[in-house]
Structure 1
Amino acid sequence: MKLNTLKPADGARQEARRVGRGIGSGLGKTCGRGHKGSFARAGKGKIKAGFEGGQMPMYMRLPKIGFHSKLKADIAEVMLYKLDSLPAGDVDFAALKAAKLVPSTAKRAKIVAKGDVSKAFVLKGIASTAGARAAIEAAGGKLAE
Protein backbone atom coordinates (compact mmCIF):
# COMPACT_ATOMS: atom_id res chain seq x y z
CA MET A 1 0.00 0.00 0.00
CA LYS A 2 1.27 3.46 -0.92
CA LEU A 3 -0.03 6.77 0.39
CA ASN A 4 -0.18 8.27 -3.08
CA THR A 5 -2.49 5.51 -4.31
CA LEU A 6 -5.10 5.75 -1.54
CA LYS A 7 -8.63 6.62 -2.60
CA PRO A 8 -12.08 6.22 -1.07
CA ALA A 9 -14.12 3.07 -1.73
CA ASP A 10 -16.48 3.06 -4.70
CA GLY A 11 -19.73 4.87 -3.80
CA ALA A 12 -18.31 6.35 -0.58
CA ARG A 13 -18.23 9.88 -1.99
CA GLN A 14 -20.92 11.53 -4.08
CA GLU A 15 -20.37 14.39 -6.46
CA ALA A 16 -21.64 17.71 -5.12
CA ARG A 17 -24.94 18.83 -6.62
CA ARG A 18 -24.30 21.66 -9.06
CA VAL A 19 -27.43 23.79 -8.97
CA GLY A 20 -28.36 26.83 -11.02
CA ARG A 21 -26.49 25.70 -14.14
CA GLY A 22 -29.35 25.91 -16.62
CA ILE A 23 -32.47 24.03 -17.62
CA GLY A 24 -30.54 21.13 -19.13
CA SER A 25 -29.00 20.10 -15.81
CA GLY A 26 -32.40 19.44 -14.21
CA LEU A 27 -31.46 21.79 -11.36
CA GLY A 28 -31.84 25.17 -13.06
CA LYS A 29 -34.02 28.15 -12.10
CA THR A 30 -35.40 27.10 -8.67
CA CYS A 31 -32.49 24.66 -8.12
CA GLY A 32 -34.68 21.77 -6.97
CA ARG A 33 -36.38 23.76 -4.21
CA GLY A 34 -39.76 24.21 -5.89
CA HIS A 35 -41.74 27.45 -5.78
CA LYS A 36 -42.15 29.57 -2.63
CA GLY A 37 -42.60 28.20 0.88
CA SER A 38 -40.16 27.88 3.77
CA PHE A 39 -38.07 25.20 2.05
CA ALA A 40 -37.48 27.48 -0.93
CA ARG A 41 -35.98 30.23 1.23
CA ALA A 42 -32.36 30.47 2.28
CA GLY A 43 -31.76 29.32 5.84
CA LYS A 44 -35.42 28.51 6.52
CA GLY A 45 -35.41 24.80 5.75
CA LYS A 46 -35.89 23.52 9.29
CA ILE A 47 -39.12 23.40 11.23
CA LYS A 48 -39.43 22.46 14.89
CA ALA A 49 -40.24 18.87 15.85
CA GLY A 50 -43.98 18.24 16.03
CA PHE A 51 -44.93 21.26 13.89
CA GLU A 52 -47.77 20.36 11.55
CA GLY A 53 -48.11 23.47 9.42
CA GLY A 54 -50.19 25.41 11.92
CA GLN A 55 -52.83 22.81 12.69
CA MET A 56 -53.03 21.53 16.26
CA PRO A 57 -50.13 19.08 16.66
CA MET A 58 -50.74 15.44 17.52
CA TYR A 59 -49.10 15.69 20.94
CA MET A 60 -51.53 18.47 21.88
CA ARG A 61 -54.59 16.73 20.41
CA LEU A 62 -54.16 13.49 22.34
CA PRO A 63 -55.57 13.26 25.87
CA LYS A 64 -53.13 13.35 28.72
CA ILE A 65 -53.74 10.34 30.95
CA GLY A 66 -52.31 9.10 34.18
CA PHE A 67 -51.59 10.66 37.51
CA HIS A 68 -48.33 11.17 39.41
CA SER A 69 -48.73 12.00 43.06
CA LYS A 70 -46.43 14.71 44.38
CA LEU A 71 -46.83 13.25 47.87
CA LYS A 72 -45.35 9.89 46.86
CA ALA A 73 -41.80 11.22 47.09
CA ASP A 74 -42.36 12.08 50.77
CA ILE A 75 -43.27 8.49 51.73
CA ALA A 76 -40.36 6.16 52.53
CA GLU A 77 -40.83 2.39 52.22
CA VAL A 78 -39.40 0.17 54.97
CA MET A 79 -39.06 -3.57 54.35
CA LEU A 80 -40.15 -6.02 57.05
CA TYR A 81 -36.72 -7.62 57.33
CA LYS A 82 -35.15 -4.19 57.99
CA LEU A 83 -37.76 -3.51 60.67
CA ASP A 84 -36.54 -6.66 62.44
CA SER A 85 -33.22 -4.90 63.23
CA LEU A 86 -35.04 -2.63 65.74
CA PRO A 87 -35.71 -3.69 69.35
CA ALA A 88 -39.19 -5.12 69.99
CA GLY A 89 -41.83 -2.76 71.33
CA ASP A 90 -43.24 0.59 70.23
CA VAL A 91 -42.04 1.86 66.85
CA ASP A 92 -42.95 5.27 65.48
CA PHE A 93 -41.63 7.47 62.66
CA ALA A 94 -39.01 9.08 64.91
CA ALA A 95 -37.63 5.63 65.83
CA LEU A 96 -37.35 4.72 62.14
CA LYS A 97 -35.54 7.97 61.44
CA ALA A 98 -33.18 7.46 64.39
CA ALA A 99 -32.33 3.95 63.14
CA LYS A 100 -31.72 5.45 59.65
CA LEU A 101 -34.28 3.15 58.04
CA VAL A 102 -35.88 6.16 56.32
CA PRO A 103 -34.07 9.08 54.66
CA SER A 104 -34.00 12.48 56.33
CA THR A 105 -36.14 14.00 53.55
CA ALA A 106 -39.06 11.60 54.19
CA LYS A 107 -42.17 12.93 55.93
CA ARG A 108 -44.00 9.61 56.33
CA ALA A 109 -43.19 5.90 56.27
CA LYS A 110 -44.90 2.76 55.06
CA ILE A 111 -44.03 -0.82 56.00
CA VAL A 112 -43.85 -3.15 52.99
CA ALA A 113 -44.09 -6.95 53.15
CA LYS A 114 -40.66 -8.15 52.06
CA GLY A 115 -38.92 -10.70 54.23
CA ASP A 116 -40.04 -11.89 57.66
CA VAL A 117 -40.42 -10.32 61.07
CA SER A 118 -39.77 -12.30 64.28
CA LYS A 119 -40.37 -9.70 67.02
CA ALA A 120 -43.59 -8.22 68.33
CA PHE A 121 -43.81 -4.57 67.22
CA VAL A 122 -46.46 -1.99 68.01
CA LEU A 123 -46.44 0.46 65.08
CA LYS A 124 -47.72 3.95 65.86
CA GLY A 125 -48.60 6.38 63.08
CA ILE A 126 -46.98 4.27 60.36
CA ALA A 127 -48.86 2.97 57.34
CA SER A 128 -48.44 -0.60 56.10
CA THR A 129 -49.51 -2.87 53.30
CA ALA A 130 -51.99 -5.67 53.94
CA GLY A 131 -49.27 -8.33 53.72
CA ALA A 132 -47.02 -6.46 56.15
CA ARG A 133 -49.92 -5.99 58.59
CA ALA A 134 -50.65 -9.74 58.50
CA ALA A 135 -46.97 -10.61 59.10
CA ILE A 136 -46.66 -8.18 62.03
CA GLU A 137 -49.86 -9.48 63.65
CA ALA A 138 -48.72 -13.09 63.12
CA ALA A 139 -45.52 -12.28 65.03
CA GLY A 140 -47.56 -10.98 67.97
CA GLY A 141 -47.44 -7.26 67.12
CA LYS A 142 -50.16 -4.80 66.22
CA LEU A 143 -50.76 -1.50 64.42
CA ALA A 144 -51.96 1.36 66.57
CA GLU A 145 -53.41 4.32 64.71
Structure 2
Amino acid sequence: MNLHNLKPNPGAKHRNKRLGKGESSGLGKTSGKGHKGQKARSGSGVRVGFEGGQMPLHRRLPKRGFNNIRFADKVVIVNTAHLEKFFAEGDTVNEESLREKGLIRGQFDQIKVLGNGQLNKKLTVSVDAISASAKEKIEKAGGAIA
Protein backbone atom coordinates (compact mmCIF):
# COMPACT_ATOMS: atom_id res chain seq x y z
CA MET A 1 0.00 0.00 0.00
CA ASN A 2 1.35 3.40 -1.01
CA LEU A 3 0.03 6.94 -0.70
CA HIS A 4 -0.83 7.09 -4.38
CA ASN A 5 -3.05 3.98 -3.98
CA LEU A 6 -5.23 5.41 -1.18
CA LYS A 7 -8.80 6.34 -1.98
CA PRO A 8 -12.05 6.56 0.03
CA ASN A 9 -14.46 3.65 0.26
CA PRO A 10 -17.10 3.42 -2.46
CA GLY A 11 -20.11 5.55 -1.54
CA ALA A 12 -18.20 7.51 1.12
CA LYS A 13 -17.97 10.65 -0.99
CA HIS A 14 -20.88 12.51 -2.55
CA ARG A 15 -21.00 15.24 -5.14
CA ASN A 16 -22.28 18.59 -3.82
CA LYS A 17 -25.85 19.59 -4.73
CA ARG A 18 -25.31 22.42 -7.21
CA LEU A 19 -28.53 24.35 -6.92
CA GLY A 20 -29.77 26.74 -9.59
CA LYS A 21 -27.45 25.56 -12.36
CA GLY A 22 -29.95 25.26 -15.19
CA GLU A 23 -33.14 23.35 -15.97
CA SER A 24 -31.41 20.18 -17.14
CA SER A 25 -29.44 19.78 -13.89
CA GLY A 26 -32.63 18.70 -12.11
CA LEU A 27 -32.07 21.39 -9.46
CA GLY A 28 -32.56 24.51 -11.57
CA LYS A 29 -35.33 27.12 -11.61
CA THR A 30 -36.83 26.87 -8.08
CA SER A 31 -33.79 24.90 -6.87
CA GLY A 32 -35.80 22.22 -5.05
CA LYS A 33 -37.83 24.71 -3.01
CA GLY A 34 -41.15 24.44 -4.84
CA HIS A 35 -43.09 27.59 -5.74
CA LYS A 36 -43.20 30.74 -3.60
CA GLY A 37 -44.26 30.67 0.04
CA GLN A 38 -42.39 31.29 3.28
CA LYS A 39 -40.13 28.24 2.95
CA ALA A 40 -39.03 29.22 -0.55
CA ARG A 41 -37.54 32.54 0.58
CA SER A 42 -33.92 33.04 1.56
CA GLY A 43 -33.28 32.98 5.30
CA SER A 44 -36.75 31.55 5.70
CA GLY A 45 -38.52 29.07 7.91
CA VAL A 46 -40.30 29.22 11.24
CA ARG A 47 -38.66 28.91 14.62
CA VAL A 48 -38.87 25.72 16.65
CA GLY A 49 -42.19 25.45 18.48
CA PHE A 50 -43.99 28.00 16.27
CA GLU A 51 -47.54 26.88 15.53
CA GLY A 52 -48.62 29.42 12.92
CA GLY A 53 -49.72 32.06 15.43
CA GLN A 54 -51.79 29.66 17.53
CA MET A 55 -50.88 29.80 21.22
CA PRO A 56 -47.98 27.32 21.41
CA LEU A 57 -48.17 24.19 23.53
CA HIS A 58 -45.51 25.32 25.99
CA ARG A 59 -47.63 28.40 26.76
CA ARG A 60 -50.99 26.58 26.81
CA LEU A 61 -50.01 24.12 29.53
CA PRO A 62 -50.11 25.22 33.18
CA LYS A 63 -46.85 25.75 35.00
CA ARG A 64 -46.70 24.73 38.64
CA GLY A 65 -44.06 24.09 41.23
CA PHE A 66 -40.33 24.48 41.18
CA ASN A 67 -37.68 22.05 40.01
CA ASN A 68 -34.48 22.47 41.99
CA ILE A 69 -32.53 19.93 39.90
CA ARG A 70 -29.56 22.26 39.54
CA PHE A 71 -28.87 22.42 43.28
CA ALA A 72 -30.45 19.16 44.42
CA ASP A 73 -28.23 16.61 46.16
CA LYS A 74 -27.36 13.55 44.07
CA VAL A 75 -28.22 10.52 46.21
CA VAL A 76 -26.92 7.05 45.35
CA ILE A 77 -29.17 4.18 46.43
CA VAL A 78 -28.00 0.79 47.71
CA ASN A 79 -30.56 -1.84 48.69
CA THR A 80 -30.24 -4.38 51.50
CA ALA A 81 -30.43 -7.11 48.82
CA HIS A 82 -27.12 -5.76 47.43
CA LEU A 83 -25.55 -5.85 50.89
CA GLU A 84 -26.66 -9.48 51.30
CA LYS A 85 -25.26 -10.47 47.92
CA PHE A 86 -21.90 -8.64 47.90
CA PHE A 87 -20.77 -8.52 51.55
CA ALA A 88 -19.64 -11.29 53.92
CA GLU A 89 -20.57 -11.72 57.58
CA GLY A 90 -18.98 -9.04 59.77
CA ASP A 91 -17.93 -6.71 56.92
CA THR A 92 -18.06 -2.94 57.18
CA VAL A 93 -20.20 -1.15 54.61
CA ASN A 94 -18.92 2.32 53.72
CA GLU A 95 -18.21 4.37 50.60
CA GLU A 96 -14.82 2.76 50.04
CA SER A 97 -16.09 -0.84 50.34
CA LEU A 98 -19.11 -0.08 48.12
CA ARG A 99 -16.80 1.32 45.42
CA GLU A 100 -14.55 -1.75 45.64
CA LYS A 101 -17.55 -4.05 45.10
CA GLY A 102 -18.71 -1.90 42.15
CA LEU A 103 -22.05 -0.98 43.74
CA ILE A 104 -21.43 2.76 43.43
CA ARG A 105 -19.32 4.89 41.11
CA GLY A 106 -18.90 8.46 39.97
CA GLN A 107 -19.61 11.62 41.93
CA PHE A 108 -22.51 12.06 44.34
CA ASP A 109 -23.44 13.85 47.55
CA GLN A 110 -24.99 11.06 49.64
CA ILE A 111 -25.27 7.28 49.93
CA LYS A 112 -28.61 5.95 51.14
CA VAL A 113 -29.42 2.35 52.07
CA LEU A 114 -32.99 1.26 51.33
CA GLY A 115 -34.75 -1.81 52.69
CA ASN A 116 -35.49 -3.61 49.41
CA GLY A 117 -34.63 -7.31 49.85
CA GLN A 118 -33.65 -9.57 52.73
CA LEU A 119 -30.58 -9.22 54.95
CA ASN A 120 -29.35 -12.11 57.10
CA LYS A 121 -25.71 -11.07 57.62
CA LYS A 122 -24.29 -9.11 60.53
CA LEU A 123 -22.86 -5.93 58.95
CA THR A 124 -21.57 -2.61 60.23
CA VAL A 125 -23.11 0.07 58.02
CA SER A 126 -21.57 3.55 57.85
CA VAL A 127 -23.34 5.68 55.21
CA ASP A 128 -25.04 9.09 55.01
CA ALA A 129 -28.68 7.96 55.22
CA ILE A 130 -30.66 4.80 55.99
CA SER A 131 -34.39 4.21 55.55
CA ALA A 132 -36.46 2.99 58.50
CA SER A 133 -37.05 -0.45 56.93
CA ALA A 134 -33.34 -0.88 56.14
CA LYS A 135 -32.39 0.13 59.70
CA GLU A 136 -34.83 -2.43 61.07
CA LYS A 137 -33.43 -5.21 58.85
CA ILE A 138 -29.80 -4.39 59.69
CA GLU A 139 -30.49 -4.38 63.43
CA LYS A 140 -32.63 -7.54 63.21
CA ALA A 141 -29.72 -9.35 61.54
CA GLY A 142 -27.46 -8.30 64.44
CA GLY A 143 -25.66 -5.54 62.57
CA ALA A 144 -24.81 -2.03 63.67
CA ILE A 145 -25.22 1.44 62.21
CA ALA A 146 -22.20 3.67 62.67
TM-score (structure 1 length as normaliser):
0.54
Task: Provide the secondary structure at the position in 1 that maps to 2:76.
Answer: strand
2:83 corresponding residue in structure 1: 83
- Kindly indicate whether residue 44 of structure 2 is the aligned counterpart of residue 44 of structure 1: no
C-alpha distance in 2, partners of 1:69/1:142? 33
1:24 corresponding residue in structure 2: none
| Ranges in structure 2 where 5+ consecutive residues have no aligned partner | 1-34, 40-44
C-alpha distance in 2, partners of 1:128/1:69? 22
| Ranges in structure 1 where 5+ consecutive residues have no aligned partner | 1-40
For 1:141, give the aligned amino acid.
Answer: G
| 1:57 Cα deviation from its structure 2 partner | 3.6
Most deviating of 92-101 and 55-64 = 55-64
1:59 corresponding residue in structure 2: 58
Task: Provide the secondary structure at the position in 2 that maps to 1:77.
Answer: strand
Task: Provide the secondary structure at the position in 1 that maps to 2:58.
Answer: helix
Cα deviation 1:81-130 (Å, max 9, x = unaligned): 21122132432111111111112344532212121111122211332222
For 1:136, give the aligned amino acid.
Answer: I
Based on CA coordinates, which of the two structures has the bigger radius of gyration? 1
TM-score (structure 2 length as normaliser):
0.54
For 2:112, give the aligned amino acid.
Answer: K
